[in-house]
Amino acid sequence: MSKSENLLMLADSEHDANMLYAVGMFVPDPFIYLRLGGRPYIVLSDLEIDRAPRSAPHCRALALSKYQESLRKQGVKSPGHAHVIAAILREKKIRSVVVPPNFPFGVAGELKKLGVRLTTTKGNFFPEREIKDASEVKKISAALMMAEVGMSEAMQVLRASKIGRDRRLMFHNVALTSEKLRAVIDCAILQASGLPANTIVAGGIQGCDPHERGFGPLRANEPIIIDIFPRSAKTGYFGDITRTVVRGKASEGVRRLYETVFKGQGIGFKKVRAGVSTNEVHHGITGYFESQGYKTGRRNGRMEGFFHGTGHGLGLDIHESPRMGQFSSGKLVTGQVVTVEPGLYYPGLGGVRLEDVALVTQNGARNLTRFEKQLEI
């Protein structure tokens, strides 16, 4: 958005990344943000307003209760957010504001009745979110370290596990399941001041569904996809890492699948640089996969091959702009932070995915991920 445009948001900042980006403080309940004449305002309840000067010093904090009291004196029985917004805009002699696409529909209708004209954005509400400054890169790197802490704990448990009957992995004489290993990962992330959510531990054929969280016993000699994407409790920024491992001995088919994905990811990293089209990164990897005989398409009623994007932007949202996929558009820009996560999935073999995080620079990609890649453990 242009700095000269008047903006309005109504959301909480724990779940809405645009609000957190604009304000910089966590507030669990929806509140009002206005940028009027280039100056940011936040309208907070009495519960929140006293911490605003230290948590959001760049914003002028206004008391919701004072506006509601004034509106009641004017005859408004139950002044809600819409009445308060309209009152502030009247004070500033402003009749039109720009809102994000997810602005509450009910409040939008109330504002229309109160004479406020709303328009919405076609692209990102804050396009500058795509470009990370040095402090944001540090915050993403810190969140990524939390993910790596979880991954390290998972690897230790897998290495210490024994192979029991029916190839079931046993840990402390109890079957090691996706649920138990996920709990180990999530506890480690919590201890590192991260917030885990929907961590993936998917073994065997379960790994062929890229967003399957995984369930039941884990087995030796088959690939296990571990995808960890925690949020920093302090900053709200995300980390993201995926590794595929085999406890025991990988088959030749799985070994070749892994080597192909590993080399494909390397091709992706070589292509990531400022000025390169986002879909060019993806096509470079898919072209290599096809040259190695790994086709993508529907077979026996389900997708197989490489049927998701190569990567996505990472920041205050786990998935944000830019996207790197078959139909993505635009070119990479210095300062963007993106994942590079190719994968191959075949029900007869299992799934393999590897994911690292890259900072886009003029000269190439700087890998922010430090965790090792090793197939057999």
Helix (H) or strand (E) holding 51: none
Identify residue 360 by its one-letter amino acid code. V
Alpha-carbon span 235 to 198, nearest angstrom: 19
Number of domains in the chain: 2
Give the pLDDT score at 3.
66
- pLDDT for residue 239: 98
Say if residues 169 and 163 touch (Cβ distance below 8 Å): yes
- 327 domain-assigned: yes
The CATH number for 286's domain is 3.90.230.10
Six token digits for residue 258: 């892994």
144 and 249 inside one domain:
yes
End-to-end CA distance of the chain: 49
Compute mean pLDDT per 10 residues along the chain, 377 residues long, and list them: 84 98 98 97 98 97 98 96 98 97 97 97 92 98 98 98 97 97 98 98 98 98 98 98 98 98 98 98 98 96 97 98 97 98 97 98 97 98
| 156 and 69 both lie in a single domain | no
> 38 and 66: one domain?
yes
What's the pTM value of the predicted model, to 2 decimals? 0.96
CATH value at residue 18: 3.40.350.10
Q: Which of 131, 141, 152, 185 is nearest to 356 (CA)?
A: 141
pLDDT of residue 108: 98
Q: Which residue, of 126, 149, 183, is where some domain finishes?
A: 126
The answer to the question of residue 23 being in a domain is yes
Write out the residue range of the structural domain in which residue 65 sits: 7-126
Contact between 268 and 284 under an 8 Å Cβ cutoff? The reply is yes
Q: Which of 100, 126, 152 is the last residue of a domain?
A: 126
Residue 209 lies in a domain: yes
Claim to verify: residue 15 and residue 142 sit in the same structural domain: no
One domain, residues 90 and 214: no
**Are 198 and 308 part of one and the same domain?**
yes
Looking at the structure, tell me whether residues 347 and 253 fall in a common domain: yes
Give the residue from 72, 97, 126 where a domain finishes.
126
Rounded to whole angstroms, how far apart are CA atoms 64 and 34? 13
What integer pLDDT is reported at residue 2 of this predicted model? 60
d(C-alpha 243, C-alpha 44), whole Å: 43
Q: Tell me what pLDDT residue 1 has.
A: 57
